[in-house]
Each structure stands twice: as structure tokens, then as C-alpha cells.
Structure 1
């Protein structure tokens, strides 16, 4: 097998072209194999204990990288040709064979034409499996009268063609797979129905494209559907990121850490709520000086999926930011450098804004570690496939990861003001709309609880990102958010972090940090609110309660609040301008700011 080198950006090997994804590059279609195929000796290990603790047993490994042109011995990742079926753009022959030129494999047909990957592949609807469509098998099947004895017993594999014929109609009706030997011809319109492959007897093989077919493969009863190989639903990556912060943690997180590290915790996990759980929990509690209920609470939340992992990580980050805000100038030499600042009456005359922002952090340096847990296909309810599915269960699995360095702005909001606002009945009723829809959505486990404070602070972050794109020197796609807004934690959180990171160890250029200076930030804040006061889609937008994917946005659209999906931790969901600026349905958290600004300007 010849190795053909292609280059990808390091961050792309995590997402969108991480384990399990289909990559189109230089006219070829490839599938990324799982991390068990990685050469550990050439994949450097990344240290981030707080992230690895939440992910579980394993190790964080960075994909191999290089500078300059790739050579024969350059470290690389394994990508498999997928789909294997391709057609020649010149002679239209359809096959799984690769061309040869001077004894080397090439992406060209024997006639000299370029080989093009087939557009459609088969994806399992519930098991997250993916496989090639056997086009010869599919072309010679069907339920119509054209399936004669000659067609059924045809073995002319070299006579298959992928042709375009306008006389049969437009779109998929004009694309046909034909056999020159038995004259069988089927249009792609017979391929894309929800039960089409099942009617043709084509079943899921229960594996991924790079997995070898053997008796150990578990059977899969979920139906297959034909989808375009580049469809976004074919790959739903589950990525977790953490900021590199000091080891100090809030009491709630510290207790959980001690409980998980206790010698008896493995026995507690093995009993899994059985008759001995309370007794084992009491032993751990007596050793640590805590209650048995606290120990059992850690057991109930351990390994709870994306939501609990991310909330645990955010709790530690929130505590670290609060400690940094308590000091003005941070002179530490670490990967987490934050200067604490305050907004006061000397900063601005807009008292309603000053009263609601209790602290600002200029994040001069921050290290972020991103890790890929695994992926799903087709839907959020499909089976989860880990990033490392190797057969050797005794070795530690690999979590593909990268580390990035950058800068940002952290804003802490006044807890008392926020709690007072979100206790209002109208505010609760407005947020309950998204709470109910999130619960009924397949994305529930991947989204934060949309309580009023989360919706409001999340929307504020989007408004600031849109404004920062004009003033910071960074595009909106290069800015990211991290929302700390949860009242149901042991330590309630109320803040946002807007940051940018790059793979270079030197980080970024400082344009974002400068805008975190109090006077500049106030001007930026007011401009962002003024931009959002009127949307080009108003009054439809501001009065709406069903926008966005799965109707998980209220008064928020591309004209006022949405940003690049890569910038948003919720995929542009759970947004509402009314809970920020106010409206006919509910008062906004910052509703008084713009009227006060206009009053000050008038005088």
C-alpha cells in the first residue's frame, strides 16, 4: 500500500476532520481512522490533569505535526480511502479499483480520466456506523420488472457505469448506475428514500470504514440510509475543552476530587447503588470528614456525559477567575494570567450598567486544551463511538487533543442583581419556553440548562462578539465564548469569557486584552447593546418565540444576535434579545441601560 501525504491544519484533526470524519482533499475522499491506529511514540502527550480527570481513564495525545513539506518519513495519521467506489469522469466506468502509473497507485483511470468518489454513502440511523454502498449489488436489485434472470445472475463487474442522461429528467433522475452487459439501469431517485436500502436487502455491517470485517463485529439491526458523503449530519463530534488554571478549586469540586481518588471509590462504583453503597460511602465520608450524602452525590454525577463534564470544568474555572479578580495586577509567570479590574462611577455615568457588572478580567494569557471524546452519526440520540475503539482493552485509550494559547476578556455580573431579575414571573415564563423545547430536543445533553441567566448572558456574549469583530482586529469566527451561568451549582456562576486562541505557543497579539480596559469596555458594551436594539428583521424578530435550529432561539436571528457556529458553545442556540433588552413578553436584564444612555447624551 502506497502512502500518499496530504496536509491538514493541526486543529482540523480534532474537528471537523477528526476521528470518524470524511475529508475531501485534492479530489480524494478519505475517512479518519480511530486513535488506536496512532503511533504513540510520534504523538506527543499533552498535560491537563483537570480535563483528563473528567474524561476518565486514558491519555491526551496531540496528532503529529511538522513544519515545511512532508517527506517519506514524516510522522502522519492514518486516513482510509472512503468511499472506495469511484467513477471515471471520462469513460464513466464505476469500480473500486485504483489506477496505476509507472508502478505506483494513482487517482486516474486506465483511460487517463480522473477518478471521482461517488457522491452517496450509507450511514446507520442508530448505531453511528458508516459503510460503502455496493453499487454493483444495488444496480442489479430492485422490485420492478427489469430484474430479469439475466440481471439477477449478471457478473459483469467491469461493465458498470455511472452516467448522466438528461432524457430521464433533472436532478437525481438524470443520474443512473447502468450495466452494459445486462442493460440494467437504476436512477439515484430509487436510492435516497428512507427504506430504499432495506427494500434492496442491504444491511448495516456494524463497523466503521477502517475496521476489518471479522466475526468479532457486532451485528447491527438499525436501518441504513443513503446520504451525501459531505452531509454535516454524518459526523457529530463530541469535543470537550478546558482552560489551564491553577489547581485550587471551590469546595464542591475539591470534595469531588478527593472522593474520586479515595481507595474505596472503585468499590463504590462497582456496587453501583447496590446494598453496600451506603456502607462504603460512610467509610469514605468518615476518612474525608464529609457526609455520606456528599459521597453518593459524586457517584451519581460521575461520568454523566458532556453536560456534567463541562459543568465540572466550568466550576473550577469560575473559582480561578474569582481569585484573579480579587487582585489588580497579575505578575505570575504561568499559562493563566488575568488582571482584575472594576467598573465604577469614575469609569462611566451609566449607573445601571455599573451596578450589574461587578468585575472585569483582562486575560493576558490563557491555555486551552481541546480533546475529542468521540462522535455520533445522523442524530444526537445515535450510539456514541469513542475516539479510540482499538481491540486492546488493557492499554490506556487515546483522546486526540491539541493545546492553544491566547487572550480574552472576562466579565463577572452582579449575582444579587441577576438573582433579583430572574426571580420575576415574566422572566421565568419566557425562559420556560426554551427549557421545555430543550428537554424534548435530541440536543438536550449537549446544551446548558436554559435558565434565565444563561439565556441573557449567552446573548450578551454574542452581542459583544459581533461588536468586537469591528474593533479588536480579530474576525468573529476567531473569537469564542465560554458562559458561566448556572444557579443550581454549589457555587452559583454569573459571567462570560470571550477569548481567542492560536496554536502558536506565543499566543495572540493583544488586541482583545486592550479592549478589556474599563473605559473601552464600557464603550464597547454600550455600542453592542445599541446595535442589538433594532434588528433589520424587527418587529418580526423581537416578537418571535420560535427561531433557529429546533426552535431553540426566541428573539434572535442572523440580523442581530447569531455568530459563527464555531464561536458559540451551543451552536447558535438558546438566545433571546428580550431577556437582555426587554420587550412585550419580559423585562430585560440590561433594559435600563440604553434609556439611561440616551438621557445622559440628551443632557
Structure 2
């Protein structure tokens, strides 16, 4: 588990970097009981820097990378994950100054002689910092509340309270006022914009309609829940002038016109402001799903070529020794070896020629900014999948694989009853997946991280990180490859159908609505996956549902990796899918999934999955679903009853699914669509 915050440090929100241990080192006694923790996978996809993490009593926001540095500086060794193929992609997007991929800073386990809080994980700030008292409805900023957390082994008890809370009831005449200590909860309303800024809602300005209170400089506010039947949302009331205003007025397009017209450019995770933000703020609730979208890239580690080995060594030297030191001693390889040994870089087996090549690569000047921007504009995420696809096409290399790459695959025999259009089966006995965070967006999720580069929220104050958070997972899987000639012939048929035209039009409508203010910069037709992707994606989902009943893992633990793109002048076409499960511990997974690649078990599983896909408890509604204007859903004959998977399993959020591409379904209405695997009766 990765520890999230130290209790007392959360009360600070200064321009300095968060450093939970600095005061303790100076002899200041502090309450450092734990308040929360999270797994690296959730910090990667759900609660990374800039996201809001709900704790039992309040919410925190993991800080930017600048605030992680004090944690690393206190440790004798800063670990790195060496994967040149992924690092090259990160440097393309964030700049050549990125020289390392680092794991999340785990908090060391407490030993018998250690002290609580001797080291920490990821620092965080309390956010939102406006709270509402549950006893009297008082609404105020964080300093008006008291933080309590005295039990070192009960992080769930950490909370903010309102001391001397008078409660809601009326006091009897002449009786002393009742005082109590009531728990406080975060106020739910926030302001955000498409440039990724996030700010507190201006409650005082809102209730006074943009002016100051006529009776008090800093009036007390109350947030009262609306009674059922009166209005939607809460009502803000000024205790001094008795002005009231409903939060329902701030919702929707009309409500946006009543909000401040200029964004302040605030980044709470960096404790910083951007100047001159030209986007209009919009109301958003604290738990909204569009508050934070992670921009990540991931690869499966493959056996490295000689060039990749040189690149990997150059990256280690650049990160550990620095370019200046490598340049100073470039001609003294023995001294370079001594420096590397001092930094725990193992050069055993590295010849002088290989070391000299790595040093030369370190000293090679990076591309100019203009060249980098040109490459970035032309970059396609498929480029990360191409090396994996090409390796899987060369079974002669499988017996020569090296365990150091973390990948072990085995070409499997096809079962005699396996559908003829599944041409190959590969058992992935062991695999290693590396995932890196490049940034995040708010309000709109980008299909590609290079869509609108300016909208990618920075992870550091200067916007030029020298490293990015990365996770390393191990697991197992099964790779299935379809007959590419059959896929191409089927795809050419689908392109001319009315169903495909309806999906294309729905995608255009969805794209412009989903991307709102930034959609005009991207052509939606370039982001519509080809019919073969819909086919592979639908097949992957029905197999995940079927495999979950036999492999020993829950369906939410299985993930997909789709290799589906048509042939272009620069790359060959692909038609395959990988269903895998990964875990962040050192042992990986247990073998239950890869065992399903055995020919007899797999052919029965595939047949059963396709037969289940031919029927849905929502048919005929599901089987006849075709989007038409103004509908903009990105699926056809697919729903929660037959095809949808959990968000941890699907790489496209249950978009681009249609059972009619798998099988020829009866009674679909309109034009008949040929399924790739024919009819269910022929299985």
C-alpha cells in the first residue's frame, strides 16, 4: 500500500513544497497518525496528482511531483524503472528533460524499533477546503474547523470538527447555550474549466450576487439542504444579512452565465496559479466522473534489441549520473564504470564498446522543439502496439526469449474444433506491463494525449518534469489471432452497410458533444476505430465474461489489449487480442488464466462464448439497437446483459461494441449484417 498523507501536514497550504518530515527533524512535536492509503494502480488511474481522493472524514488531493522530491531526497537510493520504449514516448510528449521513470514512493513498513511517520509516501493537501458543519449547517473555510486524529492505527477516525457547534434547535429563554463538537464534511461544489484548473466555489459572492455583504466584512454562511419538493440542491444563506440563493441556479448552461466569467487559473495539486486563463469556469460536483481523466501510456515489455539495450543503458546513465558528469568523463570509461557502480548501475557484462555507445547516445543532442512538435502531431498510440504485434508474429523467437524481459510466451496447438477463423493461439505464461502517467485533463477526456497538448495539466510547477510516476505489473494472458485475409474481406463488406454509416454518424455526434469546446481541433473520423476493432473488441468482451467463470479471477481482474488496425503504407494490418491479468506484487498471478489456452478447454470456451453472444435477455431491443439522430451512443447490439465489462477491463469504456459484427443475428431489423463467425447454429 502507498501511504497518502501525514495528518498535520495537510493543514498547510503554502507556496513551499510539502515536506511532512521537515518540522519533525527540527524537533517540533506533531501528530503524524495515518489518514489514508491507496494502491499504486488506483493512484495511476483513479487518484493520481490532481484528483480528489475521498477519505472517511474528508477529501485530499495528491500533490504534484515537486512535493514528492523531499521524500526521495531522504532515501539512500531513488529506484527507477528501465524501459526505453516507454521513456521515448514520454519524452516525446513532455520534453527531452525527462530522464527517468520512477515508481510511487512506498512507505516503509513499520519495524519494532521504528517510529510512526519515519518516512512517508505521497504528500497531499486537503481539498476542497470549504467545509459544512453537520450539526448547525455552518459553511466556512478550513481554518475555522479543528482537525482530530490521535489513534495511530485508526486512519478512519481522522476528521475535521466544528467546536462549540450550537446545533439547529432553538434555545430556551434564559438557558445557557448548548455547545457541542460536530463533524464537518467537505462542501461539494467546485469550479473547473477545460484547461484543467480547479477552484473552490465562491459561496460568499454567490449568495450576495457578486457583491459584498452590506452588514459584515466576513459574514458567516450556512448551507441548508433543500426540502423535498421545493428545489434541487442546497441553499446558501448569509447569517448577517439573511440573503439566500439556491445552488440549483448555478447548474446547466443558464447557470454557467451566472458564474464568474474568468477562471483564476488555480492548480490545487501544485498550490499555484496560471496567468491569463481564457476558459470559462463551470460548476462541477466533487465526486463527478469528469473531474479527472488520467493520461497514461502503457507497454508490454518485450525482449530488447541491441539498439534498445544501448538506449536503456544511456537512459540509466543520464538519470543517475547526469549529462554534465557523463560529458566530463566521456573519455574515461573506467571512471564512468566507477561512478556507475557507486550509483548501483550494474555494468557486469557490458563491453567497453557498448559502454562507449551508451555514452555517445547520452551526449547526442535531442531533437529541436520544432522537430519534436512535428513528431508529436503525427504520433499515433498504435505505435506502442506495433512492436508487440510484430514479436508475436515470430514464433521462432519464442524459445530464445530471455527471462530478464519478464515475457514468456508459448505457441499453442489449435484444437480441432476451434473456429477456423481463429488462426493462432499463444499462451502468455509470464508478462510485465509498465504504465506511465503523463498528466491529466478535466471535463473532457482526450482520445489521444497529443490531441490538444495545451490541455494536458502539468504535473510540476514549471511544466517540465524530469521524471514521471510509473507502475510495473506482472501477470499472464492468452493471445488470439484472427485470419487476417478473412478479416479484411469481411471489413470491406461492412464498410458499405447502413449499420456502419449509422455508427459513423453517431460517433461524430458523440465526439463533438463529449469534447465540447475542444472538439473543433480534431477530425472525429480519424478517431473512429475500423470495423475490425469493433469485431475484436466485441469478441474480447464475450470471452472475458466466459473466462471469468473458469479461470479463478473475477471479470474485473481481466483486461484486454486489442491489436486491430488496417494495413497502411507504414505498417502492416493487425487482427488479434490479448486477454490478461496483472498484479503489482513481485509474484504476479497464479496461472489460472493461461491454463485456459490448452486446446480442448479453449475451443469449448470460445464456442460457448459465441453462443452466449447470440442471445441477450434484452433481445429483441438489444439486437435491433442502431443509433439514429440525435442519439450518440457508441455501441450497437451490446448492453450490460450481454457484452459490457467493468471499467477496469475495457480499454474503451464499453464503446465500439456490436454483437452483429461477431454473429449474424436473426430479427435485427433493416439490412442484414454478416457476422464474422457466421450464425450461432453453425458453431
Do both share a fold (TM > 0.5)?
yes
1:429-453 C-alpha deviation (Å, 9 max, x unpaired): 5434434443551578999642121
- SS of the residue aligned with 1:205? coil
RMSD over aligned CA atoms reads: 3.4
Equivalent positions of 1:90-169 (< 5 A) are 90-96=135-141, 97-100=143-146, 107-111=160-164, 112-124=181-193, 126-141=194-209, 152-155=213-216, 157=218, 159-164=220-225, 166=227, 169=230
Once structures 1 and 2 are overlaid, which stretch shifts more, 453-462 or 35-44? 35-44
Alignment partner, residue 2 of structure 1? 8
Deviates more, 1:428-437 or 1:551-560: 428-437
Q: 1:565 aligns with which of 620, 630, 647?
A: 647
Give deviations 1:343-399, integer Å, cap 9, x for gaps: 1xxx2245xx1x312211111110011111111111236852345232274xx5332
Aligned twin of 1:385: 456
Q: Secondary structure at the match of 1:155?
A: coil
Match of 1:292 in 2: none
Q: How is 1:534-549 mapped onto 2 (pairs within 5 angstroms)? A: 534-546=615-627
Residues 1:587 and 2:678 are matched in the alignment: no
Checking the alignment, whether the CA contact within 8 Å between 2:494 and 2:531 is kept in structure 1 is no
**Distance of 2:582 and 2:229 partners within structure 1:** 52
Contact 1:17-1:32 at 8 Å conserved across structures = yes
Q: Helix, strand or coil for the counterpart of 2:593?
A: helix
Q: Structure 1 residues 141, 566: CA separation in 2 closer, same or farther (over 3 Å shift)?
A: same
Q: Distance in 1 between matches of 2:605 and 2:463?
A: 54
**Offset of residue 114 of structure 1:** 0.6
Structure-2 separation of matches of 1:45 and 1:328: 29
**Residue 424 of structure 1: how far off its partner (Å):** 2.1
**1:230: which partner in 2?**
287
Indicate how the Cα distance of structure 1 residues 193 and 552 shifts in structure 2: closer, same or farther if over 3 A, else same.
closer
Q: 1:578 aligned to 2:660?
A: yes
Residues paired across the two proteins, number: 540
Report the counterpart of residue 418 of structure 1 in structure 2.
Answer: 487
Change (3 A) 1:549 1:127: farther
For residue 88 of structure 2, the aligned residue among 44, 53, 58 is: 53
Give how far 1:324 is off.
3.9
User: 2 CA distance for matches of 1:510 and 1:121?
Assistant: 46
Q: What do the CA deviations read for 1:31-83 (whole angstroms, capped 9, x no partner)? A: 22222321244563222111111121322221111365693122221211111
Distance change in 2, residues 1:15/1:414 (3 Å): same
Change (3 A) 1:434 1:266: farther
Residues 193 and 133 of structure 1: is their aligned pair in 2 closer, same or farther, counting only changes over 3 Å?
same
Does structure 1 conserve the Cα–Cα contact (< 8 Å) formed by 2:503 and 2:627?
no
1:76 aligns with 2:121: yes
What residue number does 2:21 align with?
none
CA distance in 2, matches of 1:493, 1:102: 57
Alpha-carbon distance in 1 for matches of 2:292, 2:478: 32
* Cα offsets for 1:560-596 (capped at 9, x unmatched): 111012211111111111111024532111115x333
Q: 1:183 to 1:333 in 2, by over 3 A?
A: closer
Give the conservation status (yes or no) of the 8 Å contact 1:62–1:400. Answer: yes
Residues 338-487 of structure 1 mapped to structure 2, 5 A cutoff? 338-343=409-414, 347-349=415-417, 353=419, 355-380=420-445, 384-391=455-462, 393=464, 396-424=465-493, 430-439=499-508, 441=511, 442=514, 449-487=528-566
Distance in 2 of aligned mates of 1:264 and 1:549: 53
Return the alpha-carbon distance in structure 1 between the equivalents of residues 384 and 617 of structure 2: 38
Q: Any residues of structure 2 matched to 1:491-502 within 5 Å, and which?
A: 491-502=572-583
The alignment status of 1:190 with 2:249, answered yes or no, reads yes
Task: Output the CA distance in 2 between the equivalents of 1:304 and 1:85.
Answer: 41
Preserved CA contact (<8 Å) 1:485 1:494 = yes
Post-superposition Cα deviations, 1:257-312, rounded to whole Å, max 9, x if no partner, equal xxxx8999956x5565xxxxxxxxxxxxxxxxxxxxxxxxxx8972248xx45211
Rounded Cα–Cα distance in structure 1 between residues aligned with 2:268 and 2:189: 14
- In structure 2, the CA distance between the partners of 1:528 and 1:101, relative to structure 1 (3 Å rule), is closer
Which whole-Å deviations, capped at 9, do the CAs of 1:502-549 have from their partners, x for residues lacking one? Answer: 011110010001001121111110010011111111112122122999
What's the counterpart of residue 245 of structure 1?
A: 302
Q: Corresponding residue for 2:584? A: 503
1:14 maps onto 2:35 in alignment: no
SS at match of 2:548: helix
Report the secondary structure of 2:80's partner residue.
coil
- Aligned mates of 2:249, 2:109 — CA distance in 1: 47
Matching residue of 1:601 = none
What secondary structure, in the 3-state scheme, does the structure 2 residue paired with 1:467 have? helix
Any conservation in 1 of the 2:555–2:645 contact (CA below 8 Å)?
yes
Task: Report if aligned partners of 1:555, 1:578 keep a CA contact under 8 Å in 2.
Answer: yes
**1:93 Cα offset (Å):** 1.7
Deviation, 1:192, is: 2.1
Partner Cα separation in structure 2 for residue 372 and residue 558 of structure 1: 30
- Measured in 2, the distance between the counterparts of 1:408 and 1:369 equals 15
Secondary structure at 2:204 match in 1: helix
The aligned counterpart of 2:408 is: 337
Distance 1:349 1:380, change over 3 A: closer
Aligned residue for 2:545, secondary structure, equals helix
The answer on whether the counterparts of 2:250 and 2:258 sit within 8 Å (CA) in structure 1 is no
Assess, with a 3 A threshold, how the Cα gap between structure 1 residues 417 and 300 changes in structure 2: closer, same or farther: farther
Pick one of 600, 603, 606 that aligns with 1:519: 600
- Measure, in 1, the Cα distance between the counterparts of 2:259 and 2:199: 16
Q: Show the 5 A alignment for 1:278-357.
A: 302-304=375-377, 308-324=379-395, 327=398, 332=403, 334-343=405-414, 347-349=415-417, 353=419, 355-357=420-422
